[in-house]
């Protein structure tokens, strides 16, 4: 699932080399995937009214459901340095 999310997000942004996908598991066994992108690409990942990130979450949750796993996707807020 991490690889699928990585492919989707890198396809959306202008700077795919700055995309980082983190993976952790909470105490309930739920997988948490975090997305970090370049600040200039945040709008492309979120989309108008959040439609793009919602569609990405739906796609990944479909994959997780087929594998009998629970997943949560978080988009990390980027800081401009």
69: number of Cβ within 10 Å: 13
Sequence ranges of the domains in the chain? 2-75
Q: Give dist(CA 39, CA 58) in Å, integer.
A: 23
Fold exhibited by the domain 2-75: GMP Synthetase; Chain A, domain 3 (3.30.300)
Q: Each residue of 37-65: pLDDT tens digit?
A: 999 999 999 999 999 999 999 999 999 99
Determine the distance from the C-alpha atom of residue 65 to the mean position of all C-alpha atoms in its chain, rounded to a whole number: 16
Q: Each residue of 19-42: pLDDT tens digit?
A: 999 999 999 889 999 999 999 999
**pTM for the full model?**
0.86
Q: Which two tokens stand for residue 55?
A: 């569609």
């Amino acid at each position: 699932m991490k690889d699928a999310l990585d492919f989707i997000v890198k396809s959306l942004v202008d700077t795919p080399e700055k995309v980082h996908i983190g993976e952790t598991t909470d105490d309930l066994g739920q997988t948490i995937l975090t997305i970090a992108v370049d600040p200039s690409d945040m709008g492309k990942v979120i989309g108008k009214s959040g439609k793009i990130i919602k569609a990405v979450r739906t796609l990944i949750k479909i994959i997780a459901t087929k594998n009998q796993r629970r997943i949560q996707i978080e988009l990390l807020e980027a800081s401009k340095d």
